[in-house]
């Protein structure tokens, strides 16, 4: 079923206003303006969640309060606040729980950009006893708990997951809350994907910040007051943060849209769904295969997928054939508190090059990376931002 009639414009619905979804919505609105297309952006909240700064919020800092309606102002994008509960891929409709109640929203083209969240099912107890960095509210709950521990004179904070998200969180908490003991737990050593120079710098920074690193351990359970390891050891924890692994929404799979074993939408090289031509997928919601493998979820790769899909939708509406998506990684930016950082530059397949930035230069670089998406959305309202400008933007990946 198509929304379009002889009088109705072609409706493009972007589901999810994360980094990739925002990029797709603003760009496709500009690219299809002369075609008379209607672009609707759907998100549960009106606040734009800067995932690159959630570790700062958790540590008690207050990043800018960015609002989606303000970021898309003047673009022609209509913002709809609502929580998607179902996709009817045959009728081409979404079911939304909105502030005014349950409603349906028809689409002619759907951009699936729901992103990912922390996988809280991997071991027992995460859902009940651990904090996550899944959005502003979750990060603020951890910040409140850390403030309680400070007021009580101290305590132990565990961070499970030694990927770059876990490293940034552990470093930020240790710097902002020096009275707290911070323990970083993971299967691999921090920075395992980096080159030896960057990895050595990261190790030294964690030592300087007082972060206790426990590598080669496997968490088997999260308890109200501790972490259980595979060898039976119990690590006391007054606040447990879980950053190991992600999962995506089941909406696409439940709708019968072809997905991989992780629930990510299977895509053609153009990022169009292999099973439903009206559906495109971007960011963490898409299984984006390149010559070196399937992309892992980061802002660095997510924003270019959103921009690419916007361009291809416009091409198709003009009668053209979509082009394949090509992406090469550039860097692995890591903040180590507010005053230190390390940037590992990479080859296109994300393997490390010899060169890295450290210290003050890395801080400036990382701040540029973290602040650039919102600026780009605003610029995209006024003119076409070249896709290559976004390929250097940052990101991080979760790991255990």
Kindly report, residue by residue over 305-347, the tens digit of the pLDDT: 999 999 999 999 999 999 999 999 999 999 999 999 999 999 9
19, two tokens: 């980094």
The DSSP annotation for 311-337 comes to HHHHHHHTT-PPPPP-----EEEEE-S
pLDDT tier for residue 370 given thresholds of 50, 70 and 90: confident
Sign of the CA dihedral running 77, 81, 86, 91: negative
Average pLDDT (169-192) is: 97
What CA dihedral angle connects 332, 338, 339 and 343, to 10 degrees? Answer: 0
Q: How far is CA 283 from the centre of its chain?
A: 8
Residue with tokens 């590598």: 215
Average pLDDT (112-134) is: 96
Residue-level pLDDT at 379: 73
pLDDT tier for residue 391 given thresholds of 50, 70 and 90: very low
Q: What contacts 184, CB < 8 A, 6 or more positions away?
A: 158, 159, 162, 166, 167, 170, 190, 206, 211, 212, 213, 214
Per-residue pLDDT at 279 exceeds 70? yes
Residue with tokens 């502003």: 136
d(CA 192, CA 199): 7
d(CA 367, CA 85): 35
Average pLDDT (337-359) is: 96
pLDDT tier for residue 300 given thresholds of 50, 70 and 90: confident
The three-class DSSP label of residue 88 is strand
Per-residue pLDDT at 382 exceeds 80? no
Q: Where are the alpha helices (DSSP H) in the chain?
A: 19-31, 54-58, 68-71, 126-129, 136-151, 164-176, 196-209, 251-254, 299-317, 359-382
d(CA 290, CA 297): 13
**Please, what's the b/e burial string for 309-325 (b: 16 or more CB within 10 A of its CB; e: otherwise)?**
bbbbbbebbeeeebeeb
Residue-level pLDDT at 386: 64
Per-residue pLDDT at 400 exceeds 50? no
d(CA 56, CA 130): 18
For the chain, what percent of residues have pLDDT higher than 70?
Answer: 93
What are residue 98's phi and psi, to 5 degrees? -110, 170
Q: Contact 271/281 with Cβ under 8 angstroms? A: yes
Residue-level pLDDT at 374: 75
d(CA 386, CA 400): 35
Q: Contact 246/398 with Cβ under 8 angstroms? A: yes
* Angle at the Cα of 44 from the Cα atoms of 42 and 49, rounded to 5 degrees: 100
* pLDDT digits 0-9 by tens, 31-86: 999 999 999 999 999 999 999 999 999 999 998 899 999 999 999 999 999 999 99
State the average pLDDT for the chain. Answer: 92
Average pLDDT (247-264) is: 95
Q: Contact 110/118 with Cβ under 8 angstroms? A: no
Per-residue pLDDT at 294 exceeds 80? yes
Domains (ranges, CATH) in the chain?
Answer: 11-118+246-330 (3.50.50.60), 126-242 (3.50.50.60)
The neighbouring-strand residues paired with 335 are: 341
d(CA 164, CA 295): 16
* pLDDT digits 0-9 by tens, 210-231: 999 999 999 999 999 999 999 9
Per-residue pLDDT at 368 exceeds 50? yes
Per-residue pLDDT at 392 exceeds 50? no
Residue-level pLDDT at 383: 67
pLDDT tier for residue 6 given thresholds of 50, 70 and 90: low
Is this prediction's pTM over 0.75? yes
Residue with tokens 């004179």: 153
What are residue 162's phi and psi, to 5 degrees? -100, 20
Residue-level pLDDT at 3: 58
d(CA 57, CA 172): 10
Residue with tokens 């760009």: 27
């Amino acid at each position: 079923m198509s929304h379009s009639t002889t009088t109705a414009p072609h409706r493009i619905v972007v589901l999810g206003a994360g980094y990739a979804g925002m990029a797709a919505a603003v760009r496709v609105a500009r690219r299809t303006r002369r075609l008379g297309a209607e672009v609707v952006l759907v998100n549960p909240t009106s606040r734009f969640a800067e995932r690159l700064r959630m570790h700062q919020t958790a540590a008690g800092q207050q990043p800018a309060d960015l609002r989606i309606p303000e970021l898309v102002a003047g673009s022609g994008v209509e913002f709809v606040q609502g929580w998607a509960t179902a996709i009817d891929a045959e009728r081409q409709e979404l079911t939304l729980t909105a502030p005014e109640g349950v409603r349906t929203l028809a689409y002619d083209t759907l951009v699936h950009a729901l992103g990912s969240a922390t996988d809280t099912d991997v071991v027992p107890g995460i859902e009940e006893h651990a904090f996550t960095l899944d959005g502003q509210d979750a990060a603020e709950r951890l910040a409140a708990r850390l403030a309680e521990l400070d007021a009580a004179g101290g305590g132990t904070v565990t961070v499970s997951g030694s990927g770059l998200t876990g490293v940034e969180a552990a470093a930020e908490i240790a710097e902002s809350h020096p009275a707290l003991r911070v323990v970083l737990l993971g299967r691999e050593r921090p920075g395992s994907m980096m080159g030896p120079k960057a990895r050595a710098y990261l190790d030294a920074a964690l030592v300087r910040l007082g972060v206790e690193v426990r590598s080669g351990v496997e968490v088997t359970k999260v308890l109200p007051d501790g972490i259980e390891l595979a060898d039976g050891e119990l690590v006391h924890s007054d606040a447990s943060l879980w950053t190991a692994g992600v999962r995506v929404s089941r909406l696409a799979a439940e709708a019968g849209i072809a997905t991989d074993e992780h629930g990510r939408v299977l895509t053609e090289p153009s990022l169009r769904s292999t099973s439903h031509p009206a559906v495109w997928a971007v960011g963490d919601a898409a299984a984006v295969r390149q010559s070196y493998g399937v992309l892992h979820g980061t802002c660095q790769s997510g924003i270019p997928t959103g921009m690419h899909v916007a361009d291809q939708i416009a091409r198709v509406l003009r009668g053209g054939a979509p082009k394949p998506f090509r992406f090469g990684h550039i860097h692995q930016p890591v903040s180590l508190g507010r005053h230190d950082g390390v940037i590992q530059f990479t080859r296109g397949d994300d393997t490390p090059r010899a060169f890295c930035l450290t210290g003050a230069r890395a801080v400036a670089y990382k701040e540029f990376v973290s602040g650039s998406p919102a600026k780009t959305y605003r610029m995209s309202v006024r003119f076409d931002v070249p896709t290559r400008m976004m390929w250097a933007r940052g990101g991080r990946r979760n790991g255990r």
